[in-house]
Amino acid sequence: MASGSGVRARNESAWLLPNDGTRTNHRLRRDMRRFADDDEIDLVIVGCGAGGSVLLQRLARAGWKVAALDAGPFWDPDADWVSDEAGSHQLYWTDPRVIAGTDPVPMGSNNSGRGVGGSMVHYAGYTPRFHPSDFMTATLDGVGADWPLSYAQLRPYYEQLEQELPVAGERWPWGDPHGYPYRPHPVGGNGEIFLRGADKLGITAKVGPVAITNGRFGNRPHCIYRGFCLQGCKVNAKASPLITHIPDALAHGAEVRPDAMVTGIAVDERTGRATGVRYVRDGRERFQRAAMVAVAGYSIETPRLLLNSSCERFPDGLCNDFDQVGRYLMVQGAPQTAGRFDAEVRMYKAPPPEVSTEEFYETDPAREAKRGFSIQTVSPLPITWAEHVAAQGHWGSALREYMSDYVHWSCLGSLCEFLARPENRVTLAEEKDSYGLPVARFSYSQCDNDRALVRAAQSVMEDILHAAGADEVITIQRYAHLVGGARMARDERHGVVDSNCRSFAVPNLYITDGSVLPTQGSANPALTIMAVAARAADHLAASGTT
């Protein structure tokens, strides 16, 4: 079992949380450094999620004057979060957005967070690495794009972050084989079913990797297996930047400015450099001066902010000289297949993330499609489960009857690597939000390769559940995660930022969130987003403040 002492020397967050059964260090927040708007700070970060928080913590440690603005609240798990599905509505970004295309992608609870901690407040907690192949799919498979950096360049950051979150799981045999700092969690009914079915078919499945404490970590307690991971962890067991990076950042002089909606990035028309950000707080428009700006608003709001920040020099949107902003936005195809057992599975009694397989992750010449998919346990709570049942066409009495059978079902989910396509993109809609800014319009359409992967994944999930003894299976088609929209590339004609996350167009503007990813693999993206931000932070710290 990892001691955590090595981690503590470089990230003390877990030890800065209270150890008295409450979850928030209020003194740390009260004593937080606060910069004035006209104080030219070294760096202002837009968004306090996976990417923004890691950057904030790293540069605060490097001695930078740095502040992160977030549109949402500075959460206190004790007072703000509930052990309840419908009551967790406030965790999601629910400002208006328009979805379009032949396969429109629902937003909100599915993929969009709000407040300090970002989407990792309500993500399941799976933190797999990308495979080495994900960084060169164009070369290997003739699809997608090659990253301007390699897996080997990101590996040290994966290792650092797996210790900081920390991640629990069995030794991982796929991609670049590696171990995890904490032992795997015990599995519940759903994980048991997955392992049983996979074993019968000779499919390797492993427990993990999940960023949930198994044993005490600093002042974070052991998981209590209550099943409400997607509603925000009231236990402080599941990792999110709110507890893994923000406390250490504050202790090193960073400011987190919650409830501050950034509405524009200002650029000096003469020098072409960013000068700070416009934002609205308490109904008042303000301006934070900064020598450098990093945008970390995720794949919808980051492109939207760039497009809404047009000026004389950038009439079509900031960094958009080559019409790259908003493009190549990706979601994973995420069909979920459930199986019915006479025994009671009660899948809600464990964290939804338990067991996964990456055996189908890479291109298989025997399949009709390039790239692949992963399969993981998902354990929908009643409202989400009702979506599954309603998707079969049931309503009224039939809906109620199916729903009364809830305790007998086991549910698996797949993540299919949908390919990046230029026409899948964010643009600005006619409609305005409450700040008077055009809202994002996200158009999404699948290609044949995408559909073939979904069919293959569904058939494997059905096989696993049948092998485990299910008498019936049902499937719902859905999507998971977002990445891309301001991707990294070798040059400005193919992307928005370079391998260090610096924008090609504005030398002191960085993008450090999931929108820079050129491909997505079949892995949940949180760990990779953090690793990319940590690498950008190292580059910035090495080059020094401006």
Query: Looking at 15, 28, 33, 108, which residue binds other proteins (CB under 8 A)?
Result: 108
For residue 187, the minimal CB distance to other proteins (Å) is: 8
Near other proteins by CB under 8 A, which window of 99-107, 136-144, 208-216, 265-273? 99-107
Task: For residue 497, report the phi and psi dihedrals to the nearest 5 degrees.
Answer: -130, 165
SS (H, E, C) 424-435: CEEEEEEEECCC
Spatial distance between the Cα atoms of 366 and 350, rounded to a whole number of angstroms: 36
User: What is the smallest separation between the CB atom of 534 and other proteins, expressed in angstroms?
Assistant: 29
In the list 31, 176, 285, 344, the residue contacting other proteins (rule: CB under 8 A) is: 344
For residues 113 and 218, which CB has a smaller minimum distance to other proteins in the complex?
113
> Which C-beta is closer to other proteins: that of 86 or that of 201?
86
- 452-491: contacts with other proteins (CB under 8 A): 471-472, 474
Beta strands at 293-295 and 43-46: parallel, antiparallel or unpaired:
parallel
Residue 74 as a binder of other proteins (CB under 8 A): the answer is no
Alpha carbon distance 6, 240 (integer Å): 20
What is the DSSP secondary structure assignment for residue 419, as one 8-state letter?
P
Residue recorded with tokens 């524009």:
264
Segment interacting with other proteins (CB under 8 A) among 25-33, 39-47, 75-83, 115-123: 75-83
- Distance separating alpha carbons of residues 165 and 211, to the nearest angstrom: 6
Q: What is the closest distance, in whole angstroms, from the C-beta atom of residue 405 to other proteins in the complex?
A: 6
Between 114 and 370, CB nearer to other proteins? 114
Rounded Cα distance between 110 and 135, Å, is 26
Q: 34: which 2 tokens?
A: 């606060």
Q: Which two tokens stand for residue 42?
A: 């070294």
Q: Which of 526, 25, 531, 475 is nearest to 229 (CA)?
A: 526
Kindly identify the residues of this chain, within the stretch 219-278, that bind other proteins according to CB under 8 A: 224-228, 234-235
Contact 45, 68 (CB under 8 A): yes
Site size toward other proteins, by CB under 8 A? 78
Closer residue to other proteins in complex, CB, 107/249 = 107
88 or 133: whose CB is closer to other proteins? Answer: 88
User: Could you tell me the smallest distance in angstroms from the CB atom of residue 82 to other proteins?
Assistant: 4
Exactly one of 79, 270, 312, 542 binds other proteins (CB under 8 A); that residue is 79
To the nearest whole angstrom, how small is the minimum distance from the Cβ of residue 222 to other proteins?
Answer: 10
> For other proteins, what does the binding mask look like between residues 360 and 399, x meaning CB under 8 A?
---------------------xxx-xxx--x-xxxxxxxx
* Distance (Å, whole) CA 151 – CA 132: 5
Strand partners, 330: 483
Closer residue to other proteins, CB minimum distance, 59 or 107? 107
Of the two residues 400 and 493, which places its CB atom closer to other proteins in the complex? 400
Please state whether beta strands 336-340 and 472-476 pair in parallel, antiparallel, or not at all (unpaired). Answer: antiparallel
Residue 156 within binding range of other proteins, rule CB under 8 A? no
> Which CB sits closer to other proteins, 66 or 440?
440
**C-alpha closest to that of 482 among 420, 412, 413, 391:** 420
Binding of other proteins at residue 298 (CB under 8 A)?
Answer: no
Q: How far is the CB of 196 from other proteins (least distance, A)?
A: 9
Cβ at position 484, least distance to other proteins in Å: 18
82 binds other proteins (CB under 8 A): yes
Considering only CA atoms, which of 545, 504, 395, 483 is closest in space to residue 63? 545
Piece of the chain touching other proteins by CB under 8 A; list 93-101, 166-174, 212-220, 315-323: 93-101
Among 73, 104, 258, 507, binds other proteins (CB under 8 A): 104
Site for other proteins in 396-425 (CB under 8 A): 396-408
Calpha distance 88→255 (Å, rounded): 26
8 Å CB contact between 379 and 227: yes
In whole angstroms, how close is the CB of 193 to other proteins at the nearest point?
Answer: 7
**b/e string for 35-55 if b means 16 or more Cβ within 10 A?**
beeeeebbbbbbbbbbbbbbb
CB nearer to other proteins: pick between 289 and 346: 346
Distance CA 14, CA 236 (A): 9
Q: Which residue has the tokens 């995660």?
A: 481
Q: How far is the CB of 90 from other proteins (least distance, A)?
A: 9
Nearest approach, Cβ of 518 to other proteins (angstroms)? 25
Q: In angstroms, what is the minimal distance from the CB of 171 to other proteins?
A: 23
- For residues 513 and 171, the answer to whether their CB atoms sit within 8 Å is no
Q: Shortest distance, CB of residue 416 to other proteins, whole angstroms? A: 21
97 binds other proteins (CB under 8 A): yes
Report in angstroms how near the CB of residue 201 gets to other proteins at its nearest.
18
**What values do phi and psi take at 323, rounded to 5?**
55, 40
Return the residue of 178, 183, 289, 349 that touches other proteins, per CB under 8 A: 349
Nearest C-alpha neighbor of 258 from the set 242, 288, 281, 231: 281
Beta bridge partners of 497: 488, 503
Beta-sheet pairing, 355-357 with 293-295: unpaired
CB 247 to other proteins: min, Å: 21
Q: How far apart are CA 180 and CA 11, in angstroms?
A: 18
| Piece in contact with other proteins (CB under 8 A), picked from 46-54, 80-88, 141-149, 200-208 | 80-88
Residues from 162 through 221 that contact other proteins (CB under 8 A) = 186-189, 192-193
Query: Encoding tokens for residue 87?
Result: 């009551």
Q: Which is nearer to other proteins, 32 or 71 (CB)?
A: 71
DSSP assignments along 269-299, one per residue: TTT--EEEEEEEETTEEEEEEBS-EEE--HH
Nearer to other proteins (CB atom), residue 107 or residue 506? 107
Residue 78 contacts other proteins per CB under 8 A? yes
Picking from 323, 359, 528, 543, the residue whose alpha carbon sits closest to that of residue 457 is 359
